[in-house]
Amino acid sequence: MQMHGYLNWGTVAIFATVYLGMVLGGLPRLKLDRSGVALLGAIGVIALGVMDTEQAARAVDLPTVLLLFSFMVVSAQMRLGGFYTAVTQQVAALPLGRNALMGAILAAAAGLSAVFSNDIICLAMTPVVAQLCQKRRIDPVPFLLGLACAANIGSAATLIGNPQNMLIGSVMHLSFGAYVRHALPPVVISLALLWAWLVWGPGTRNGFAGAVSSPEVAAVAAGRRDAPDIAFDAWQTTKGLLVACALMGVFLFTDWPRDVAALVGAGVLLLSRRLHSSDVMGYIDWPLLVLFIGLFVVNQAFESTGLAAQAVGWLAAQGVQVADPGPVFVAGVGLSNLVSNVPAVMLLLPHLHGFDAGVSLALVSTFAGNLLLVGSIANLIVVDLAQKSGVAIDWRMHAKVGVPVTLMTLAVVWAWSRGV
């Protein structure tokens, strides 16, 4: 009994330390990011004897990890083929006025993010959008903030648009087609509200004082880019699009396990005479995969203490059902901005049941990423690349768009979930 109590307290200490690292983005005085913290946490519970290596391996939801890895391969193929940059340049070349151009960019970002990674879309589109605005001498900040918000919103339309949706769909065994039918209307409405706010909102129509944008500054900043633009390759792009379309068809119209189908698709793409596998693997987000694996192990160890079940039981005794829409909204928004989307979803998933709860969690945890600048990796990618293109965006500028748009889009999800 004494040893059992020791293990429980040790597990709680590790769990608390790991999620402190999720909040802070690392641990003080240590050169660790969230992935490093999660990995050390997993090592800690194994070293403590809470679980052995076989139990730790079983704690990892392998279908989720395989699905995530496979779509990283697909996204790498599209990026190496120059697809994302080419699409953005085609949209930018359209003879449209400011407001129509804004709508086209938002639609492109959202549509691409629904199938590919929202982070990758922001990585590819941000420099092109910044250059477009500088060339036309229009304020780039609304376009760049709109890009980040649209990528986040659009990624919620499917169960492959972002990592947390992949996790929810895999663990809760949600139907891909049914999810799209339920999620697409609030996503489309939310995109329309985002466009309207960027065009007419009181916080944006008067411009963003403090942003730096000029061709001269951009030219200097261009020399500090991480990598040059990748030339468009029609064959590699076509190959990637064929695999992506085939996978969408499999997900929508068959019962073939999504992780297996995606893994086969990734294997097809790796069979290439022109793109070396090491080049593709260089675009895999290995730290994100490590984050998933580490958190699976740490969360399972914490679940084994029974403390989470006791907390849920206590809340139920107070009349609060964790799976109800209200608690899902509050916890989803709060935790997503406190510890980030993926850790938040991992904390909530064991206590949720049913299709409606899964859809609500996916939409809420994704839309909540627009609230604060640090709420989504996509936001940070846009701000970082905008800086390198000569456009400075701070948290106040982001809040002018992020806060009202998040409140409006969450209201849409709430109304939709209630059948209004």
Residues whose CB is less than 8 angstroms from the CB of residue 111 and which lie 6 or more positions away in sequence, other chains included: 154
The count of structural domains within the chain is 1
Distance, in Å, from the CA atom of 389 to the CA atom of 223, rounded to the nearest integer, reads 9
- What pLDDT shows up at residue 229? 59
Distance, in Å, from the CA atom of 357 to the CA atom of 352, rounded to the nearest integer, reads 6
- Cβ(128)–Cβ(92) below 8 Å: yes
What is the 8-class DSSP label of residue 253? Answer: H
Rounded to the nearest angstrom, the gap between the alpha carbon of residue 356 and the centroid of all alpha carbons in its chain is 20
Rg of the chain over all Cα atoms, to the nearest angstrom: 22
Distance, in Å, from the CA atom of 78 to the CA atom of 155, rounded to the nearest integer, reads 17
Q: Helices 98-115 and 118-136: crossing angle, nearest 10°?
A: 160
- What pLDDT shows up at residue 222? 41
- Which two structure tokens, joined as six digits, stand for 131? 């250059």
Owning domain of residue 235: 2-417
- What pLDDT shows up at residue 223? 40
Question: Closest Cα partner for 204 from 371, 420, 405, 25?
Answer: 405
- What pLDDT shows up at residue 172? 92
- What pLDDT shows up at residue 205? 59
Burial 147-166 (b: 16+ CB within 10 A, else e): bbbbbbbbbbbbbbbbbbbb
Put residue 354 in one of left, alpha, beta given phi > 0 → left and psi -120 to 50 → alpha: left
pLDDT, tens only, 39-71:
999 999 999 888 899 999 999 999 999 999 999
3-state secondary structure at position 189 = helix
- What pLDDT shows up at residue 179? 95
- What pLDDT shows up at residue 208? 61
- What pLDDT shows up at residue 6? 55
Distance, in Å, from the CA atom of 262 to the CA atom of 167, rounded to the nearest integer, reads 14
Q: What tens-digit pLDDT sequence spans the chain (420 residues)?
A: 444 555 678 888 998 998 898 888 888 888 888 899 999 999 999 998 888 999 999 999 999 999 999 999 998 898 888 888 888 888 888 888 889 999 999 999 999 999 988 888 998 889 889 988 888 888 899 999 999 999 999 999 999 999 999 999 999 999 999 999 999 999 999 999 999 999 988 766 555 654 544 444 344 334 434 444 567 888 889 999 999 999 999 999 998 999 999 999 999 999 888 888 888 888 888 988 998 999 999 999 988 888 777 877 777 777 777 777 788 888 888 888 887 888 888 888 888 888 988 999 999 999 998 988 878 888 888 988 888 888 888 888 888 899 999 999 999 998 887 764
Helices (H) and strands (E) in the chain, counts: 21, 0
User: Is the pTM value of this prediction over 0.75?
Assistant: yes
